[in-house]
Structure 1
């Protein structure tokens, strides 16, 4: 009986910061700033001196040339990769570097692509490997502080999401890339890139918080919390929603009245817009709050289905569902394929 009660007991975990996490928090609050248009700028939280980094250019070059050969064999994927990187540069998220600072500590980050065929927005995404070792056997991630967990744990968030009469979800557009990196730290975010083998291989620097660096999740999520704290007096409902209803870039909130739902959406949007962060893909079990053109024009029936933390959500019936599509040959079942299918059922 005692074990049964323990299973059903829900209590938010007590947050205790390690010395490294406290140092990371202090470093963030001392160094964060806003530029002229309100966008947040942060620094990389080093726990060791960057001088321990060795040479990284050669390994980054070898990996890029290998990637390039692979993309040449798959022209469709290669075209999407080039399109992604061109958009990256067009948006100002990376810039060409004519004279890289190679005489000071720096770091070249290898990159590769991840394909997401089921995504409604980005079918191909470029990811960066800041765990790649330099000649000193140290990587950028090895010398960065990770930072504490800011958002609530997934179990508590899902429970809170389910108790409201009206639910509402959204996500931050390109969340990590909406937070700028200090110019002096961008030399640790060099990459090699060219759109075609006929072009010279060039150095670019990533201008924003980069997915793949150890501190990226903390820096991005902490920036949401920073904006919420600034508006706690003026827009309390929205500020509290930001601090309690985000899981990385996914917002899962709700209310018991339509009026309160409107207020939550209005205040959360206003707070994040002040930091130049945009919310999109609004979904709800109330028809007035569904606002996602990328889904609407793709729907071939009356069902409005979306994904919420790994689950399919039917907004009309307000029910959760599991989607199952076996992808392996029944004659060659392996442990890896079984784990892959099991994870695809529910993998938040």
Structure 2
């Protein structure tokens, strides 16, 4: 009974959980580049946001003042943002500035350091930042708990002689957001990371670290990838992806080194 995989311990889905699953199941698509794309799972079909651009501008100016006080923080932040802009965000055309129909939401962002890695920054998008009493996370569905049981993963990990450990780099960023939902993920940054230039509007193309729905979307997408790839890459690799990952970390043991190597290769390809 310690194992959540046991059928009698699984909880039934709530109405919101069923809506989350229905939205993703019906609208997830596999892109030509192999990534999966899905909508933001909203609590209702029609959601209108207040124009919170001014709040995002204020937060950006606070960030700029912090850059002036701390050059190391500024350097790390720019490096992280350049990576975001290169692969995971797109510029908003100037013709789409000033939309006031409630479909646009701006997300402020800030930098946090890992407590044990003082030179490793992560820029977090604050989807809980409220403006006029609401924020993006208020409207996002969290979805059901799709994570595997950690006790089960750890106990199965001890079964065989050869151990492997895996990590999915930037897991949330591997899953794209449907284009019509990207205006809910706008943010401000300076053109060319030059703080003497004007601020430019961008929007994220991928699911965010900081959005309430992202863990559920990423877990749903990962399991869909395992289901879709099982026929081509094998049941062992699919079961590893489905059953032996805890969020983005995988643990598995096998009887021989050769089997471990084959599993790593097939799982990576999947």
TM over 0.5: yes
- The question of 1:63 aligning with 2:59 is answered yes
CA deviation vs aligned residue, 1:115-166 (integer Å, no higher than 9, x gap): 137459x81111111011122x111110111111222122222222233322
**Structure 1 match to 2:230:** 232
TM-superposed CA distance for 1:207, in Å, is 0.8
Question: Which of 258-267 and 68-77 deviates more?
Answer: 258-267
1:175 paired residue number:
171
What corresponds to 1:200 in structure 2?
198
Match for residue 165 of structure 1?
161
Shift of 1:70: 1.0
**CA distance, structure 2, for counterparts of residue 18 and residue 165 of structure 1:** 41
Q: Which moved more, 1:60-69 or 1:100-109?
A: 100-109
The match for 1:344 is none
Contact 2:47–2:139 (CA under 8 A) maintained in structure 1: no
Match of 2:82 in 1: 86
**1:125-204 alignment to 2 at 5 Å?**
125-135=122-132, 137-194=133-190, 195-204=193-202
Bigger Rg over Cα: 1
Partner of 2:90: 95
Select 1:11's aligned residue among 3, 24, 37: 3
How far, CA to CA, are the matches of 2:222 and 2:66 in structure 1?
Answer: 38
Q: Distance in 1 between matches of 2:25 and 2:156?
A: 29
Q: How does 1:303-314 map to 2 (within 5 A)?
A: none
Paired residues of 1:161 and 1:253 also in contact (CA < 8 A): yes
Q: Is the 8 A contact 2:165 2:249 kept in 1?
A: yes
- Indicate yes or no: 2:248 matched with 1:256: no
Could you say if the C-alpha distance between residues 184 and 39 of structure 1 is closer, same or farther in structure 2, counting changes exceeding 3 Å? same
Q: Tell me how far apart the structure 1 counterparts of residues 71 and 90 of structure 2 sit (CA, whole Å).
A: 25
- Change in CA separation of 1:237 and 1:119 when aligned onto 2, cut-off 3 Å: farther
Is 1:124 the counterpart of 2:116? The answer is no
Contact map agreement 1:170 1:251 (CA 8 A) in 2: yes
- CA 183–11 in structure 1, closer or farther in 2 if over 3 Å, else same: closer
The change in CA–CA distance for 1:182 and 1:167 in structure 2 (over 3 A counts) is same
Query: CA, structure 1 residues 239+79, in 2 after alignment: closer, same or farther (shift >3 Å)?
Result: same
| Counterpart Cα distance in 2 of 1:101 and 1:28 | 30
Structure 1 residue 101 displacement after superposition: 5.8
- 5 Å-filtered alignment, 1:22-61, equals 22-61=18-57
Secondary structure of the corresponding residue to residue 100 of structure 2 = coil
TM-score (norm 2): 0.90
Q: 1:264 to 1:182 in 2, by over 3 A?
A: same
Distance 1:59 1:49, change over 3 A: farther
Give 3-state SS (helix, strand or coil) of 1:167's partner: strand
Q: Distance in 1 between matches of 2:25 and 2:183?
A: 22
Question: Within 5 A, what are the aligned runs for 1:106-117?
Answer: 106-116=104-114
CA drift of 1:214 comes to 0.8
Unaligned runs of 5+ in 2: none
Further displaced range: 247-256 or 160-169: 160-169
Aligned partners of 1:50 and 1:143 also within 8 Å: no
